[in-house]
Amino acid sequence: MSKNGFFVLLTSTAMLMTAATHVMAQDPQASASGAVPSSEAPSTKAQRKQARKEARKQARAKTSAEMKSLQGAGYQPMQTPTDYPQNLLNAEKKAGAAKAASQ
């Protein structure tokens, strides 16, 4: 692997870890697996399956909404892959500023 390839891999791994930490900080009861808190745990296998399915559905909807807001702020993931980290950071800044202005 070249130095640039390693740097991109390291940078994207760090960004994913930062994003996961950010999500966990927003909702401390949520886990990466989408588990339901034990006080609300469904009793039957079908209910547990339905709860996991709903958690995945909500996670997909949240991710899709975040991607749409980033793309609206100018992020084009496949347009210039060599500028990946900086393009994403710029779009996050714009999307964050737009979200703060709307609130």
- Domain edges within the chain: 51-103
What is the predicted pLDDT for the residue at 8?
45
Global confidence as pTM: 0.51
Half-sphere exposure of 63 (CA within 13 A, CB side): 9
Phi, psi of 33 (to 5 degrees): -85, -5
What is the predicted pLDDT for the residue at 76?
86
Instruction: Give the whole-angstrom CA distance, residue 70 versus residue 66.
Output: 6
What is the predicted pLDDT for the residue at 67?
93
**CA separation, residue 75 to residues 42, 45, 67 (Å):** 40, 41, 9
For the chain (103 residues), the mean pLDDT of every run of 10, in chain order, is 48 54 52 55 88 97 94 86 86 89 84
What is the predicted pLDDT for the residue at 9?
47
H or E element in which residue 5 lies: helix 3-26
